[in-house]
Structure 1
Amino acid sequence: MRELGSKIALVTGGAKNIGRAICLALGRGGAEILVNTRQSVEIAQETVKLVEAAGGEAMVVQADITDPGDVARMVATGVDAYAGIDILVNNAGIRKEAPLTEVSFAEWREILSGMLDGSFLCTQACAKVMRKRGGGSIVMIGGMTGHSGAKQRAHVVTARAGLAGFTKAAAMDLAEFGITANCVVPGLIDTQRGVHNPSNPHHHAGRAMPLGRRGTADEVAALVRFLCGPEARYITGQSLHINGGALMI
């Protein structure tokens, strides 16, 4: 089913892992995809090829989402290429670990800027376009640690918690324009990062998962696709958890 036909979607951090899976899921749903990346242009081109191989249409838009000028240019590129933007997925983010007492202020600002400033700038710019088009869907990609806490990730936990709050604020401000805003909150998900670093204990590793396995990027992407589709127009301001039961709220 191509329930997203004629929709244009911008996915930040769309080159690989969960971002790539989201691009593919939305593309298979019929959306035309803007694959954002800051540096991984060749990898993003591979994502474009995968979307096209699945029968979709996509293009790479290179931009630093923490730079207002870059964000304005990226959104203008999408409007010029596809006449608008209907879906925004704020997926980009930096994830680092360090004890609270050793996190430098520069590292603190880097993490918060990547997740919060970037999501704010992209949401603000895209919402202006969506408003003119009569509505749209915005999805933040949060993280379970923003709700559960985690050791050595004070900056990441704070940023993830902030995304949940920003989602509610955006949902309230944008509802009158037919724009929904929701936050998808993955738990332990198999990605390149996790699979290729088995010696590095994951911050969710000690949590019991009632379903007994890690999730997949495709499962996260399927939830994003649903939230962007016609059957989810009465859902807004929510944090939807996908974690195998590791955290029940």
Structure 2
Amino acid sequence: MTQELAGRVALVTGAGRNIGRAIARDLAAGGAAVAVNARANRAEAEAVVAEIVSAGGRAIVALGDVTDPAAVEGMVRAVLETFGRLDILVNNAALRRELPFAEMDFAAWRAVLDVCLDGAFHCARAALPALRASGHGTIVNIGGLTGHSGAARRAHVVTAKAGLAGFTRALAHDLAPDITVNLVAPGLIDTAREAARPHHRGGRRTLVGREGTPEEVAAAVRFLAGPRARYITGQTLHVNGGAYLPG
């Protein structure tokens, strides 16, 4: 692999585990310095930073709640103070809860949208001046299969992820030509979960006969963040092994 991201700096939200961790590690492997965000779990974020540093990369912990505009502005400020620039923003932080709609109150609905959708808004707003100054600015939002296919017990998650796809297309128009904005939509990825296997996976199968890995999602993000993807913006890249085929 090349060091195609050498000299660039990335902020990855929700990077303490699973897909976010894999994205942070792969961007670092491409040569980028990485700010590893977690809401409150410093130990997880520090473990990812240690992995990157032990492999010869540069990384810092960026604790902060993406639903808090002041905390997000503080994270971006810390990145700029440490590395002097910010070129890549990956909006990965999310809540992927399941609850029948009849049992969902407004607080449960709002909690998911606050992180997935409002968090992406806060991060993009705070990072915008630095991304514009970069000359290589890119935003990669992490969506999800169900944001396109729908799913039971996930009205809040589906709505947030579908909104993120629309947000991606809108920003691609607003921020062109300086900043590219794309969405990666993972599906059926083998990740560690505290809760039971998601209900919506019961009837889904992939064409490739297996679940994907966080590293395969990270590879797509790394490509979209790199110099060979500067002609790609406003797009959704599905990484789902053929579990969902958009028309």
**Same fold flag (TM > 0.5):** yes
Q: 1:8-56 deviations in whole A, cap 9, x for unaligned? A: 0000001110000000000000000000111111011000011112211
Same amino acid, percent of matched pairs: 54
The one-letter amino acid paired with 2:234 is G
Q: CA 1:36–1:243 in 2, change beyond 3 Å: closer, same or farther?
A: same
Q: Is the 8 A contact 1:22 1:221 kept in 2?
A: yes
Q: Choose the corresponding residue for 2:208, options 211, 228, 247.
A: 211
Q: 1:172 corresponds to which residue?
A: 173
Task: State the Cα deviation string for residues 219-242 of structure 1 (Å, max 9, x = none).
Answer: 000000000001000000001101
Distance 2:137 2:40 in 1: 28
- Aligned pairs (5 A) from 1:161-240: 161-176=162-177, 178-193=178-193, 200-240=197-237
Measure the CA separation in 1 of the matches of 2:103 and 2:111: 15
Q: CA deviation at 1:201?
A: 4.8
How far apart in 1 are the matches of 2:121 and 2:198?
31
What secondary structure sits across from 2:202 in the alignment? coil
**Cα deviation code 1:105-126 (max 9, x no counterpart):** 0011110010111000101111
By how many angstroms is 1:101 displaced?
1.0
Query: TM-score, structure 2 length as denominator?
Result: 0.97
Once the two structures are superposed, residues 75-128 of structure 1 have per-residue CA deviations (whole angstroms, 9 ceiling, x without a partner) of 000110000110000000111111111111001111001011100010111122
Which amino acid in the other structure matches residue 88 of structure 2? I
Structure 1: how far apart are the matches of 2:106 and 2:210? 36
Structure 1 ranges of 4+ moved more than 6 A = none
Which residue identity is paired with 1:188? L
The corresponding residue for 1:86 is: 87
CA distance in 2, matches of 1:205, 1:129: 43
> Aligned pair 1:149/2:146, yes or no?
no
- Return the letter of the residue paired with 1:63: G
- The amino acid across from 2:51 in the alignment is L
Residue 135 of structure 1: how far off its partner (Å): 3.6
1:145 CA drift (Å): 0.3
Q: Structure 2: which amino acid aligns with 1:47?
A: V
Residues 33, 59 of structure 1: 8 Å contact kept: yes
Q: Is the 8 A contact 1:187 1:204 kept in 2?
A: no
The equivalent of 1:45 in structure 2 is 46
- TM-score, reference length from structure 1: 0.96
Is the CA contact (8 Å cut-off) linking 1:168 and 1:181 kept in structure 2? yes
Q: Matches of 1:242 and 1:4 in 2, distance apart?
A: 22
Judge conservation of contact 2:42–2:61 (CA < 8 Å) in 1: yes
Aligned AA (2:201): H
Q: Secondary structure at the match of 1:192?
A: coil
Structure 2 residues not aligned, in runs of 5+: none
Using the alignment, how far apart are the partners of 1:72 and 1:128 within structure 2?
A: 12
* Contact 1:9–1:31 under 8 Å retained in 2: yes
Residues in 1 aligned to 2:209 and 2:135: alpha-carbon distance in whole angstroms = 43
The SS at the match of 1:181 is strand
Unaligned runs of 5+ in 1: none
In the aligned structure 2, how far is the partner of 1:94 from the partner of 1:45? 21
How far apart, CA to CA, are the structure 1 residues paired with 2:99 and 2:221? Answer: 30
- Report the CA distance between 1:191 and its aligned residue: 0.6
- The AA in structure 1 aligned to 2:235 is Q
CA deviations 1:204-226 (Å, max 9, x no partner) are 23112111000000000000000
What is the identity, as a one-letter code, of the residue corresponding to 1:5?
A: A
| 2-structure distance, mates of 1:13, 1:5 | 23
SS of aligned partner of 1:184:
strand
Q: How many residues in Structure 1 have an aligned counterpart in Structure 2?
A: 245
In the alignment, what sits opposite 1:136? 137
Match of 2:13 in 1: 12
What amino acid sits opposite 2:172 in the alignment? A
